[in-house]
Amino acid sequence: MKVLMVLTSHDTLGDTGKKTGFWLEELAAPYYRFKDSGADIVLASPVGGQPPLDPKSNEPDFQTADTHRFEADSDATAQLADTVVLNSVDVAEFDAVFYPGGHGPLWDLAEDRTSISLIEGALRQQIPVALVCHAPGVLRHVVNEDGSPLVSGRTVTGFTNGEEDGVGLTDVVPFLVEDELIRLGGNYSKGQDWDSYVVSDDILITGQNPNSSAAAATALIELVDGRSKA
């Protein structure tokens, strides 16, 4: 199994003067689910190189066994420091695609034509795609072959309005993930705020929040494994 993990390159939290980026747990937990299953992992980002880490995600309250493991893993941190440029990636070479969240993707990946085309190409080639937390927001401009919104009529989840309010960024983000998925016609579903919650709709998997990242990765692995055995 070969997995592409797509990270943000955006590091500015609106006009707050604060930094943002990817959320560490949402990279680390899936990374080790994939690695421990024997998968080959490629990390990519729009501009390549070291993607920005949301500094809040590295605070003690948000660290986990997986984040500690990642930070102590010299191979993993070296790979993160040298992500490939997203427009150099051929999605056909992969068995699955995973998008970690953090607030960064709402600014760059949600509007990035390479990312949009990559997701469209993956799903049309029957390559499963999973996105967690804020990352389902990058689907906002992804369309079906008939031009309709990809999420229209699909069961999806993502960071809730309540969770965004809980972190105090409702008026900072360019759009609210929950509202956007509903606006696009998605069958938006959610669990309790901050609980792990993952939904699958055919080969599209979405997770609600950071606590959902490991479960979303496991669902992606099981989907790919199940298809290979079919």
Q: How far is CA 94 from CA 4, 37, 50, 97, 123, in A?
A: 7, 15, 22, 7, 12
Give the start-to-end residue ranges of the domains of the chain: 2-229
- Mean pLDDT rounded to a whole number for the chain: 97
Report pLDDT for 228.
Answer: 75
Assigned architecture for domain 2-229: 3-Layer(aba) Sandwich (3.40)
pLDDT at 227 over 90: no
pTM: 0.98
Residues 129-180: pLDDT tens digits?
A: 999 999 999 999 999 999 999 999 999 999 999 999 999 999 999 999 999 9
Distance from C-alpha of 223 to C-alpha of 98, rounded to nearest angstrom: 13
Tens digits of per-residue pLDDT, 86-129? 999 999 999 999 999 999 999 999 999 999 999 999 999 999 99
Whether the CB-CB separation of 4 and 89 falls below 8 Å is answered with: yes
